[in-house]
């Protein structure tokens, strides 16, 4: 950083963090955007691309001594076959003109000995379909050479992380098919299983993951998107993973339908003429959708405020949703925060009970086999607790309600002592009101404490409640769902 200050002619305000959570230890540096005189700090693009690297190489050489030609040759030889973006590739791209590199020219003085590695790398790139030989010693490089190789390198890092996670968990799982879950593949299915590993695989681009030991007997690496989506998840939780829904929205179909009837044009007036029952707010929602797609280059706004809708608008809308889903490519729904072993003897309505009732085809491999054994142990426990008459008694909805009642009764007893108030069950009630205090985790799920002057109740928790903690709320129960309303009258169901 001192060298950078000298190069840029200003003192720098910076912080750094060393990271050891990937295969390659690295450092992140965050710079203030101001010079020491208060003016904006502008760093030339070429300095960012090459200057910093060259400064670091120079300092590393001073600290560690120069790499001799044999050591450098060994490093370059290792890069020839690598399926990732390498120093050799960087050099080829730097020497290329319009994706064409000429290796018949004499190399820069002092680098003659590296030419054979360039030739070997070009042949390897040709084998991968990323380069082809032209005439007179010229080679054409694929326009997307760098991003393709970077993705290939990322896949390699993913597999290393996957195998390391399995080793740490002491598990062996079959690999007859791809173990990297692709949320954009229409053939991918919903997975349920136990989390055996999770973390951030790319902290520069904020990409996180979980490794799931699934009930189908296999384990999968699952990209989760931004690291905020693994907050609250821990090892041994049982979760269900669904691919994020990537398709054009209902509003897109409405826009496309109106435009198809109006020569490719859309406007609020045309919408109103096509659907006289549409409210102003409803139409404005469609306009906001078009604004979002316009910013992404998928729609054009005319000077008069109308819109030109392309013929492939629905495909563009789907592509836009796919791009947005990169931040959250899957939905991860927690089925149980308790590990499988504890579910066998948990007093409450559990995921394991739902599995017993589902009576799915047994899987005798991996975590699927563990679930089958746990279901048998759970059935025996329910017989011992008097919930079931015997092992052959089928588990039904009434049994689940009894399990939940016992669970909430146990929780209410402890809370009554803490709050100094009586517990009021909501069985048979339709209206709920009181102050939302906090949420509690129980074997049956997550519940909200709704407190009143003399008593309190426990009701199923919803995330909309959390931003209203400490406020008076009221709600109407409709079956197993609750529609909540704040004291200002705004419904938050």
Domain ranges across the chain: 2-64, 82-143, 161-244+328-333, 251-326, 338-395, 411-486
* Cα(212)–Cα(195) distance, integer angstroms: 5
In 10 A of CB 433, how many CB atoms?
13
Q: What is the dihedral of CA 111, 112, 117, 119, to 10 degrees?
A: 130
Beta strands in 81-155 (DSSP E): 100-102, 131-133, 138-141
Summarize the confidence of residues 160-165 as an average pLDDT.
91
CATH class of domain segment(s) 251-326? mainly alpha
pLDDT confidence tier of residue 1, bands split at 50, 70 and 90 = very high
Please calculate the CA angle 49-53-58 and round it to the nearest 5 degrees: 150
Q: What is the pLDDT of residue 490?
A: 41
Q: What is the pLDDT of residue 491?
A: 40
Q: What is the pLDDT of residue 377?
A: 96
Q: Do domains 161-244+328-333 and 411-486 have the same CATH topology?
A: yes
b vs e for 359-395, b when ≥16 Cβ sit within 10 Å of the residue's Cβ?
eeeebeebbbebbeebbeebbebbeeeebbeeeeeeb
Query: Can you say whether the dihedral through the CA atoms of 227, 228, 232, 233 is positive or negative?
Result: negative
Over the chain, what is the mean pLDDT? 89
Percent of the chain with pLDDT over 90: 55
Q: Which CATH number fits domain 411-486: 2.40.50, 1.10.287, 2.60.40, 3.30.70?
A: 2.40.50
Q: What digits encode the pLDDT tens for the residues 424-459?
A: 987 766 788 899 999 999 999 999 999 999 999 999
In contact, 142 and 130? CB cutoff 8 Å? yes
pLDDT confidence tier of residue 384, bands split at 50, 70 and 90 = very high
Looking only at the bridges linking them, the beta strands covering 422-423 and 455-460 are parallel
Q: What is the pLDDT of residue 492?
A: 39
pLDDT confidence tier of residue 22, bands split at 50, 70 and 90 = low
Q: Could you say which DSSP state residue 68 is in? A: P
Summarize the confidence of residues 111-135 as an average pLDDT.
87
* Cα(281)–Cα(327) distance, integer angstroms: 28
Q: What digits encode the pLDDT tens for the residues 459-470?
A: 989 888 888 899
Summarize the confidence of residues 238-243 as an average pLDDT.
95
In 10 A of CB 50, how many CB atoms?
13
Summarize the confidence of residues 11-25 as an average pLDDT.
84
* Cα(286)–Cα(191) distance, integer angstroms: 34
b vs e for 320-336, b when ≥16 Cβ sit within 10 Å of the residue's Cβ?
bbeeebeebbbbbebbb
* 161-244+328-333: CATH architecture: Beta Barrel (2.40)
**Residue 222 burial by Cβ neighbours in a 10 Å radius (0-12, 13-18, 19+):** buried
In 10 A of CB 251, how many CB atoms?
17
> For residue 255, which phi and psi values (nearest 5 degrees)?
-60, -45
Percent of the chain with pLDDT over 70: 95
In contact, 30 and 38? CB cutoff 8 Å? no
* Cα(215)–Cα(134) distance, integer angstroms: 52
Is pLDDT above 80 for 68?
no
- Give me the count of residues in the chain: 493
* Cα(154)–Cα(23) distance, integer angstroms: 11
Summarize the confidence of residues 254-268 as an average pLDDT.
92
Q: What digits encode the pLDDT tens for the residues 302-317?
A: 888 899 999 999 999 9
Q: What is the pLDDT of residue 178?
A: 84
């Amino acid at each position: 950083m001192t060298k950078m200050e000298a190069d840029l002619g200003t003192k720098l305000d910076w912080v750094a963090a060393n990271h050891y959570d990937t295969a390659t230890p690295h450092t992140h540096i965050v710079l203030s955007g101001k010079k020491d005189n208060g003016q904006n700090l502008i760093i030339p693009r070429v300095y960012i691309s090459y200057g910093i690297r060259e400064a670091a190489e120079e300092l590393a050489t001073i600290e560690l001594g120069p790499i001799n030609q044999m050591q450098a040759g060994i490093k370059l030889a290792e890069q020839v076959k690598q399926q990732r973006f390498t120093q050799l590739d960087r050099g080829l791209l730097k020497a290329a003109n319009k994706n064409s590199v000429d290796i018949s020219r004499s190399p820069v003085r002092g680098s003659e000995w590296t030419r054979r590695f360039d030739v070997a790398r070009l042949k390897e790139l040709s084998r991968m379909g990323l380069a082809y030989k032209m005439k007179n010693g010229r080679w054409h490089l694929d326009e997307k050479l760098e991003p393709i190789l970077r993705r290939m390198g990322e896949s390699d890092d993913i597999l290393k992380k996957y195998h390391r996670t399995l080793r740490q968990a002491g598990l062996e799982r079959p690999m007859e098919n791809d173990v990297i879950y692709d949320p954009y593949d229409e053939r991918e299915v919903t997975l349920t299983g136990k989390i055996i590993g999770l973390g951030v695989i790319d902290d520069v681009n904020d990409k996180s993951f979980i490794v799931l030991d699934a009930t189908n007997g296999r384990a999968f690496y699952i990209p989760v998107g931004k690291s905020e989506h693994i907050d609250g998840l821990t090892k041994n939780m049982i979760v269900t993973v669904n691919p994020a829904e990537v398709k054009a929205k209902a509003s897109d179909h409405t826009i496309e339908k109106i435009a198809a009837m109006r020569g490719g044009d859309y406007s609020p007036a045309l919408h109103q003429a096509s659907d006289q029952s549409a409210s102003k707010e409803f139409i404005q929602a469609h306009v906001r959708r078009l604004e979002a797609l316009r910013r992404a280059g998928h729609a054009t706004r005319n000077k008069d405020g109308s819109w030109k809708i392309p013929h492939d608008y629905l495909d563009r809308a789907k592509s836009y949703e796919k791009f947005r889903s990169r931040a959250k490519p899957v939905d991860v729904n927690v089925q149980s925060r308790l590990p499988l072993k504890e579910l066998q003897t948990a007093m409450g309505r559990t995921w394991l009970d739902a599995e017993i009732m589902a009576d799915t085809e047994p899987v005798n491999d991996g975590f699927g086999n563990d679930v089958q054994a746990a279901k048998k142990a759970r059935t025996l426990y329910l017989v011992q607790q008097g919930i079931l008459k015997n092992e052959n008694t089928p588990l039904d909805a009434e049994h689940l309600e009894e399990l939940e009642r016992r669970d909430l009764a146990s929780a209410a007893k402890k809370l009554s002592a803490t709050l100094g108030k009586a517990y009021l069950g909501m069985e048979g009630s339709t209206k709920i009101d009181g102050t939302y205090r906090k949420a509690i985790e129980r074997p049956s799920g997550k519940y909200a404490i709704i407190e009143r002057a003399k008593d309190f109740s426990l009701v199923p928790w919803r995330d909309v409640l959390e931003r209203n903690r400490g406020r008076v709320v009221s709600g109407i129960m409709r079956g197993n769902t609750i529609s909540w309303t704040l004291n200002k009258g705004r419904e938050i169901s």
